[in-house]
Amino acid sequence: MFLGIDLGTSGLRLLLVDEGGQPLGAAEAHYAVAHPHDGWSEQAPADWIAALDEAMAKLGQGHDLSGVRGIGVSGHMHGATLVDAAGVVIRPCILWNDTRSHAEAAALDGVAGVRALSGNIVFPGFTAPKLMWLRSHEPANFARVHKVLLPAAYLNFHLTGDYVADCSDSAGTSWLDSGARDWSPTLLQAGGMRADQMPRLVEGSAPAGVLRADLARRWGMGRGVVVAGGAGDNAAAACGTGVLNAGAGFVSLGTSGVVLAAREGYAPLPQSAVHTFCHAVPGRWYQMGVMLAATDSLNWLARITGQTPAALTAMLGEALIAPGKIRFLPYISGERTPHNDAAIRGAFTGLGADSDLADLTRAVVEGVAFGLRDCAEALITAGARLDHMLAIGGGTGSAYWLKLIATVLNRPLHLPAAGEFGAALGAARLAICAATGADPDTVMTPPAVARTIAPDQTHVAAFDAAFARYRAAYPSMREIQ
């Protein structure tokens, strides 16, 4: 058996699979995020360990874990977990959605060569600017930093006793040369860090170490359980959905929206605000565009109107209709791709006396679909292919929204059959590869497709024109805000 651990922002999930990757059992435990100041987002790594212990106890109640041969960890990216020379956590982890280091991010992004080496814009959520902030605002804590560990790497440390991280997760730090898949002395120097403060790097599908004997005994596992390098959450999700080769990708319609494409070569385009990261398997990369408020936009409308998101989308029916007169710009939390604009905010335009709640709902789902197309267009400009796109995430429960997105992208979307295909499965698959030496291409296969949603060709031209108007609105809205 093999165990995948998905360390999420709000909870930890375990998935136990057999040697064929078929699920055998799962367990979860949850924890909170602290926001001690405006724009701050922190978590205590001790809460992750407590959640791991709780979930392992639940899993162990129904399963004999003595057959576990490998463990893989997926974690939310960019978080700065700082430990001293004794391995003791110095302060709460500064999370991916913490924006306190926006000034430091802008300064580092302006240093010549940083984008070229890292392959990315330096976003405030990335790890390097967090340490620059720490040096200025918490110098005593900064002086104690022995290692900087991403959340998944901290779990690797807990599991093995070794400081080790994988390349996919480390690509989101602004310290990694993403093309060479190694720490960059130039980037480390630009961020005021040293190479000895970084963990050892391995590929996500390679062994990172062996499970500590005391944990193996506590969990009823045998000796020599291999711990894989693991992955950042999006790379792990790509492993779970079989998105390894050029042409494969997915659209994730969650709180945020992601369009992700696998790449077999390294071809960054940072000026488009596309993320270019190492994949969790050797010699491959992936690129993604991110919009910050996808289902969150619909959740916002539901909250202020006293409705549920499902009730709102039910007003639209299932038959796609032409674009409405109302335009919604889905920038309620700022925007990442393609604008890299934390200050922009959302807007409705074209409201009339005859506008009703169904019209507003249609404008919101259309605006989100256009935001996803912005991401897709940026990926295509970077040279990515979007030949076979899965649709995943909570928003895929709306048949209207799926048909709309397929039409706006003018690409069929493949809806996976019910089952496991997320980051926890990706982590378990990395464990299989690390423990057995199996070829990732044979392990990380795509899920069965329940149905394919084709674009409505009768409306493609109209939505193309509406998308052009949507794109033209951003600079004008930015100017008046």
Q: Give the CA dihedral 86, 91, 95, 98, nearest 10 degrees.
A: -150
Other CB atoms closer than 10 Å to residue 210's CB: what's the count? Answer: 17
Mean pLDDT in each 10-residue stretch from start to end of the chain (481 residues)?
95 96 96 91 97 98 97 97 98 92 95 96 94 98 98 98 98 98 98 98 98 98 97 95 95 91 93 94 96 92 96 94 96 89 91 96 98 96 95 91 97 91 94 98 95 97 97 93 88
β-bridge pairing 275-278 and 285-291: antiparallel
Instruction: Note whether 407 and 376 are within 8 A (CB).
Output: no
Q: At 279, which helix (H) or strand (E)?
A: none
Place of tokens 């700082």: 82
Spatial CB neighbours of 230, under 8 Å, sequence gap ≥ 6: 72, 73, 74, 75, 152, 153, 155, 156, 166, 169, 204, 208, 236, 280, 427, 430
Contacts of 341 (CB under 8 A, 6+ apart): 331, 334, 335, 478
> Which H or E run includes 223?
none
The whole-number pLDDT of residue 233 equals 92
**Separation of alpha carbons 72 and 204, rounded Å:** 8
Q: Look up residue 213 and give its amino acid.
A: A
Q: What amino acid is encoded at 115 in this protein? A: R
The reported pLDDT for the residue numbered 256 is 87
Burial 128-164 (b: 16+ CB within 10 A, else e): bbbbbbbbeeeeeebeebbbbbbbbbbbbbbbbbebb
Which residues are within 8 A (CB) of 395 and not within 5 positions of it... i.e. 6 or more apart?
253, 254, 294, 295, 298, 368, 401
Rounded Cα distance, 258 and 8, in Å: 16
> Token pair 């197309």 is at which residue?
373
> What is the residue whose two structure tokens read 């006793």?
161
* DSSP-assigned letters across all residues of 231-246: EEHHHHHHHHTT--ST
| Interstrand relation of 11-17 and 200-202 (parallel, antiparallel or unpaired) | unpaired
The span from the CA of 387 to the CA of 475, in Å, is 31
Question: Which listed residue (233, 296, 359, 456) is catalytic?
Answer: 233
Question: Which residue type occupies 245?
Answer: N
Q: What one-character DSSP code corresponds to residue 466?
A: H
| AA identity, residue 147 | K
Q: How far apart are CA 481 and CA 477, in angstroms?
A: 6
CA 238 to chain centre: 10
CA distance 173 to 123: 10
- Strand-pair partners of 258: 252, 290
Q: Is 172 helix (H, G, I), strand (E, B) or coil?
A: coil
Does residue 47 carry a catalytic annotation? no
Q: For residue 283, give the H/E element and its range.
A: none
- DSSP 8-state class, residue 272: G
E-assigned strands of 403-469?
413-416, 449-453
Question: What's the pLDDT at 343?
Answer: 83
Give pLDDT, residue 209: 98
